[in-house]
Amino acid sequence: MTQSTAVDLAAYQDETTIRDLIGSARTVAIVGLSPNVLRPSNFVGFYLQRHGYRIVPVNPRETEILGEKSYPSLTDIPFPVDIVDVFRTPEAVPGIAREAVAIGAKALWLQFGVISPEGARIAEDGGLKVVMDRCMKVEHARHAGRMHWLGFNTGNVTARR
């Protein structure tokens, strides 16, 4: 099994929250975005760009990723951010969560395997929505994209066109 921790992950995988975030967000800061096209973060950044989100790389080692200026930290970004999407080790999350609160982001989104109850609590106390151990690309593809074309279980049932 992937996780042996006692975090109540389901509380951070609420479908309504996820759908609202996917539908309302425009700007997504990606912390730990890699310039390597084979890295998961790059897959997600590329995909979100294709689907009309403005992505903001946060990576102190790079100046530009996927055609966007890269910032050393969240607090260096000079414009509002809707979602802070995190591809870092769980230990880095509390600090990132504090910065996400400081810049007034609307949500903290922790990717597959990024599990941090402390980070989640900091973000929630700061008024942010939190999603944990979910992939933003997958959730977009499930609710608004074409994930069903590859036979994945989207859970969607509808008789509406």
Nearest to 41 by CA among 21, 61, 15, 25: 61
Please give the DSSP secondary-structure letter assigned to residue 96: H
**Smallest gap, in angstroms, from Cβ of residue 111 to other proteins?**
8
**Is position 117 an interface residue for other proteins (rule: CB under 8 A)?**
no
The residue among 90 and 95 lying less far from other proteins, judged by its C-beta, is 90
**Is position 113 an interface residue for other proteins (rule: CB under 8 A)?**
yes
**Is position 146 an interface residue for other proteins (rule: CB under 8 A)?**
yes
**Is position 10 an interface residue for other proteins (rule: CB under 8 A)?**
no
The contacts of residue 56 (CB under 8 Å, 6+ apart) are 27, 28, 29, 30, 68, 69, 71, 77, 81
| Residue choice 6, 38, 52, 60 for contact with other proteins (CB under 8 A) | 38
Residue 83 β-bridge partners? 28, 107
| Residue choice 24, 32, 46, 65 for contact with other proteins (CB under 8 A) | 46
Binding-site size, other proteins (CB under 8 A): 37
CB 51 within 8 A of CB 145: yes
